[in-house]
Amino acid sequence: MPKILIATTNKGKLEEMLAEFKDLNFEFLSLKDLKLDKINLDEPYDTLEENALHKAKFFAKKSKLLTIAEDSGLFVNYLKGAPGVFSKRYGRNDKERVDKILENLKDVEEDKRKASFRGSACIYDPKKDSYTIFNNKVNGIITKKFITKSRNGMPYNSIFYYPPLKKTFAEMSILEKNQISHRGKIINEIKYHLTKQFNFKQIIASGGILIRDRKLLMTKRRDSRPSFNNKWEFPGGCVDKSETIIEALKREVKEETGFVVDPIEIIPEILTKTESKYNYQVFLVFYICKIISGKFKTAEAEVAGHGWFTFDEAIKKDLLPLNDIYLKNHKKLLKKYIN
């Protein structure tokens, strides 16, 4: 199971994130789990986005793990956006920070006590040295007094009133708050991102063994992954959403070779291979195909070369593993069509 670090020492924030992430197929670790919680990292920037990136990158490099970090702040309209990015440094402790805001808004009418919680989160991938930023906000009103004690590290929740639910954030359960808060909205965006980008995928692909003059066509693969690059294979590719296998076969073969083909016989075996490094499993189906029309035209982005081969010539090539297995397992069938 892939590991992801949540880079926060704030118990309340960690609790809110884990409550939503528990149904994902990842192992989430805290800074305490990795004994990194004693590091007092500065938040030196004037924007939430820069601080989130700074934290995520620092702890991703330390841990060598995909890392999520977040920065958020309370922006009070009457105070010209204060405390904003400096919310954590608005006082020496939680009580002082809350008292300072209430004092600064003393005798200010309700319609002028509008405020927003704003948050930015960053997912940093140390292997690719890449990151994604997420932003969101929620509007509310600052109460005239301290309402109720909030969860650890979230003092402003006690004075941030959310009119649609007629509650302060401190009065809400974690799941209730996550449905409407700035952080809750960001967490849901992160969940979608993680599911889309990193969850294990199962892929169906089809390949075509094109026959002409009792020889078969193979192409040399162009791929950014070294273990796949310059390997020989049969043209074909993944089945897209709403496509049948035959539709995908015809589309992929035409894109890679320029030929319009008609499948005439299915090879009676579905092979599968799991690529743990790239987090997917492929299921491969092959068809023997006759060429209906067209001239060979290289898809330069995917194909580095091509050739027509007899069986004995093809089997000597440096093939991708599943293509090699198909040739070896089905020599008798293929000999009906090729020399």
Residues marked active site are found at 71
The answer to whether 20 and 189 have CB atoms below 8 angstroms apart is no
* Residue 149 DSSP class: P
| Residue corresponding to tokens 């005239």 | 144
E strand map for the chain: 3-6, 27-30, 66-76, 114-125, 130-142, 160-162, 167-168, 201-212, 215-221, 232-233, 236-238, 260-266, 271-275, 280-293, 303-309
Cα separation, 172 vs 164, whole angstroms: 12
CB 190 within 8 A of CB 123: yes
Listed residue (78, 186, 67) closest to 138, CA to CA: 186
Q: Give per-residue burial for 79-116: e unless 16+ CB within 10 Å, then b.
A: beebbbbebbebbeebeebbeebeeebeeeeeeebebb
Cis peptide preceding 126, ω within 30 of 0? no
DSSP label at residue 110: G
Computed from CA positions of residues 19, 21, 23, 27, in that sequence, does the dihedral angle turn out positive or negative?
negative
Using alpha carbons, select from 178, 184, 161, 48 the residue that is nearest to residue 115: 161
Query: What is the widest separation between alpha-carbon atoms in the chain?
Result: 94
